[in-house]
Structure 1
Amino acid sequence: MRLAALDIGSNSAQLQVVDVYSGAPPLPAHAVKEPTLLGEELQPDGSLSEEGAQRAAKAVRQAVDAAGRLGVDQLYPFVTAAIRDATNSAEVLELIEAESGIRPQHLSGEQEAHLTYFAAHRWYGWSAGRLLLMDIGGGSMELVLGRDVEPELAVSLPLGAGRLTRAFCASDPPRAKEIKAIRRHVRETLSEVVDRLRWEGTPRRVVATSKTFKQLARLAGAAPQRKGPFVHRELTLAALREQIPRLIKASAKDRSKLPGISRSRARQVVAGALVAEATMGALDLRSVEICPWALREGILLRHLEAMSVNPELPLQALTRNNAPVRPLPAAVS
């Protein structure tokens, strides 16, 4: 069976296709990325502009077309904070459905945290012990702590790299007062959960997922993605602090020329780096290990687990809500 997850985020719509074999891990068979750049289209009232909604709908249609060409049997499309939190999210989803023939689910921040943790726990296995996971997205940051398949603590904070860039960084490069404002805001927001995480005790393993952490690790000298998922990658707090002044001084255009920094994320990587630094510092973490599996893998793994128990289980059971997942159009299914 060929499964795929379609992640419609603030920077792109990413289709990840896996071939399912008994006893084998769901490693990617194909990946397709279509730009959305929704962070540039958020209006003062919290809505996405018509141009942004149209861009998202076009990206989803192209991804769905790709899924058809690649012979995908089941597709799970979902949106994260960029569309979920928009004041006109219902209208955007309707436009996407009209354009592509599918209606994506929306995942809450807590659902994202649980699914990402589930993927990381599967990647490292039971020997990982107590696991602390950090994930910095465009709209939110997830912190998850646990030992078993289900986490003990999962929180989602409004500390996404794109969200903070829009809220605080009007200048390019950012001004000193903008950087100061981000740092103050991040500290204040983290204070809500840091004491709880400290109280829970020291984790045996600390891991980070998301494109933000992967790019920061690459900038600090980790192996490029083309080396594959089994290469050990980590980001130390010391290396991150060495790179932050370099990121702050550069324009977005110049940042996009740095190792690992993509053009679409070059503007928001400063905010992402500041969130990573503040979180690692607050929790006394010298380093984090970069986990290659994250939200998309978590969704696919949950589906595979559910199918092993009940092969007829509908796909929407994974979302734990009542919104239906539309089947693929006839040309795709």
Structure 2
Amino acid sequence: MHINNVPPGEVQEQPALSQPVNEVAAGIDIGSNTLRVVVARCCSEQIEILAVDERLVRIGESVNATGAISGEKQELTIATLQQFRALGEKYGATRIFAVATEAIRKASNREAFLAAIQQETGIEVQLIEGEVEATITFYGATYALPQREEQPERIGVMDLGGGSTELVLARELQIIWHTSLPVGSGVIHDRYLTNDPPTSEDLTAARTFLANFFQDIKQKDAPPILLATGGSANVVHLLAQRAFGHPEDQLALTHEDLVRCEGLLCALPAEEIAKRYQIEPKRARILLAGVLIMVAVLERFQLEQIEVSSYGIREGVLLAYARYGEQWLAQVQQRAEQVSQQLEKQTEEGGREGETFAEAGRRVILDRTEKMLEWRDAVIESEEIEAVHKMRVASRRLRAALDAYEAICKPKEFKKVYRQVKILAGNLGLARDTDVMILNMQSRLAEADPVEQAGLDWFIEHLKAERQRYQKKLSCFLSALDHHELRRQIEEKLFLKEDQHG
């Protein structure tokens, strides 16, 4: 099967940073419930799928229970990834790209888990944020759209995972809104539906939670078409076929279809469901939670049906690689951040009903201060790349807000606050830029000849030493920074009184 789909969702078209690729590669998704792999030939911004496989491991089960990935789940994951590597090698894959999502993001021992994977399998796993996950999933889930006779102007994608649900809205295949929500089939099952079959009290609690949770989503512009991807969505589609004679080539599931599936899953134990309809027992146990989430989303957006896509993040990874080559992840991160910035800007420019310029400025500056300071402890305590990156982005956004709303601030207090934020942003930038350089040098090691490898090894060690010095400087600055005083200074001293505004 060929997938010819230049990744959509870009704020503006930009040229690829590297030459188009032409090779066989494997894309792996380490999800909260399922591990999946697709092996495909990547060529000229398209992929030709050669093989697929998946295993239900339920990493999120142990994370939901203890906050950490258990030894058993780690062993299952490593064994599965070794099988996936062998499958890729069978078809001549020269590259393996693996991404990990919500359950691993939440796990307290995620660094040790990812290090063990690399040591045992040789696979480097990229731990991606929810917005990046949503963007990559959109790439994969929408691959078939160009084949339609009539192109929808607006479309939505829902990635129903075990630990999170990603929602994306697009207009003319350009992403205009996305969000990642910490609600998935595994989470809802482990929290509310542990009885088998569930009691009426279980169902009431789960439905009430989901209705209230999705009601808080601010997006009002519902798409006429919503694509659902992920293991639960595809198995629900399979259940509808086997239990109710749903046509195999009919990808839509109506609200009525989902309600019928819900009734069946409530009436029978998971073991009976698995036996009758040839569904994996582990999957059968969490399937009701997936149905409840799908129903809640349909009702929130007042849609009559949902279309199921068997493609998602693993295909999206390879489509991004086919387009951007070595810089695929950096390009996706950039595009996800651009959408986030656009949404934030639209919110700020739109303001709130009856809100003055000064009121909007005060709200934006205070909000961005909180978002920057929430990463303080994580940056002080470790050299975690993502924490430094997130705090740097937040500091830059706060500086931009200060620039925009300087007119509503007291000049003397403004200079004090601005100077502190500028120094912090500079220190974060030194650390972040060094992190990026280290990653780039490490990516070149595999393809370098022995002589060049020796030079790269020396340079990487030099960069790591520099990074440690930057980290020490950064930690000292943040430790000395009285963040409580900074908050108070901004909230109580920074802004001019209403009658002082020009």
Q: What residue in structure 1 maps to residue 29 of structure 2?
A: 7
- Report the Cα offset of residue 314 of structure 1: 4.2
Work out the number of aligned pairs and report it: 314
Distance of 1:58 and 1:117 partners within structure 2: 29
- Matched residue type, 1:210: G
- Matched residue type, 2:129: S
- Matched residue type, 1:180: T
Contact 2:56 2:283 in 1 (8 A): no
TM (normalized to structure 1)?
0.85
Distance of 2:195 and 2:128 partners within structure 1: 32
- Matched residue type, 1:16: V
Q: What residue in structure 2 maps to residue 176 of structure 1?
A: 200
Q: What residue in structure 2 maps to residue 228 of structure 1?
A: none
Taking only the aligned residue pairs, the percentage that are identical comes to: 27
Deviation string 1:176-207 (CA, Å, 9 cap, x unpaired) is 211111111111211221xx332x2x424222
Contact 2:60 2:186 in 1 (8 A): yes
Distance of 1:152 and 1:258 partners within structure 2: 42
- Matched residue type, 2:178: A
Deviation string 1:187-238 (CA, Å, 9 cap, x unpaired) is 1211221xx332x2x42422211121122122223445xxxxxx44110001
Q: What residue in structure 2 maps to residue 134 of structure 1?
A: 158
Distance 1:304 1:186, change over 3 A: same
- Matched residue type, 2:238: R
Gaps of 5+ in 1: 225-230, 308-312
Distance of 1:190 and 1:47 partners within structure 2: 27
- Matched residue type, 2:62: E
Contact 2:254 2:304 in 1 (8 A): yes
Secondary structure of the residue aligned to 1:42 is: helix
Contact 1:9 1:138 in 2 (8 A): yes
Distance 1:21 1:302, change over 3 A: closer
More moved, 315-324 vs 242-251: 315-324
- Report the Cα offset of residue 17 of structure 1: 0.5
- Report the Cα offset of residue 10 of structure 1: 3.0
Distance of 1:144 and 1:43 partners within structure 2: 25
Q: What residue in structure 2 maps to residue 69 of structure 1?
A: 90
Of 273, 277, 280, the match for 2:298: 280
Contact 1:168 1:178 in 2 (8 A): yes
- Report the Cα offset of residue 27 of structure 1: 4.0
Secondary structure of the residue aligned to 1:113 is: helix
Distance of 1:223 and 1:206 partners within structure 2: 19
Distance of 1:316 and 1:240 partners within structure 2: 35
Distance of 2:154 and 2:188 partners within structure 1: 30
Of 207, 211, 225, the match for 2:231: 211
Distance 1:46 1:296, change over 3 A: same
Q: What residue in structure 2 maps to residue 17 of structure 1?
A: 39
Deviation string 1:48-83 (CA, Å, 9 cap, x unpaired) is 112212221222222223322321022111112222
Q: Does 1:51 pair with 2:72?
A: yes
- Report the Cα offset of residue 97 of structure 1: 1.3
Q: Does 1:94 pair with 2:112?
A: no
- Report the Cα offset of residue 324 of structure 1: 4.4
Of 243, 257, 279, the match for 1:261: 279
Q: Which has the larger radius of gyration?
A: 2
Q: What residue in structure 2 maps to residue 186 of structure 1?
A: 210
Where do 1:95-114 residues align within 5 Å? Answer: 95-114=116-135
Q: Which has the higher helix share?
A: 2
Q: Does 1:317 pair with 2:326?
A: no
Q: What residue in structure 1 maps to residue 392 of structure 2?
A: none
Moved beyond 4 Å, runs of 4+? 321-327
Secondary structure of the residue aligned to 1:48 is: coil
Contact 1:35 1:59 in 2 (8 A): no
- Matched residue type, 2:235: Q
Of 46, 49, 52, the match for 1:28: 49
Q: Does 1:37 pair with 2:58?
A: yes
Secondary structure of the residue aligned to 2:227 is: strand
Q: What residue in structure 2 maps to residue 227 of structure 1?
A: none
Distance of 2:219 and 2:64 partners within structure 1: 35
Distance 1:197 1:257, change over 3 A: farther
Of 253, 259, 283, the match for 1:235: 253
Gaps of 5+ in 2: 1-22, 334-385, 387-435, 447-502
- Matched residue type, 1:9: G
Distance of 1:38 and 1:276 partners within structure 2: 22
Secondary structure of the residue aligned to 1:110 is: helix
Secondary structure of the residue aligned to 1:270 is: helix
Secondary structure of the residue aligned to 2:290 is: helix
Deviation string 1:102-125 (CA, Å, 9 cap, x unpaired) is 220112221111111223344213
Distance of 2:439 and 2:200 partners within structure 1: 47
Return the structure number with greater relative CO, CA threshold 8 A, min gap 6: 1
Contact 2:157 2:169 in 1 (8 A): yes
Q: What residue in structure 1 maps to residue 188 of structure 2?
A: 164
- Report the Cα offset of residue 306 of structure 1: 1.1
- Report the Cα offset of residue 154 of structure 1: 0.4
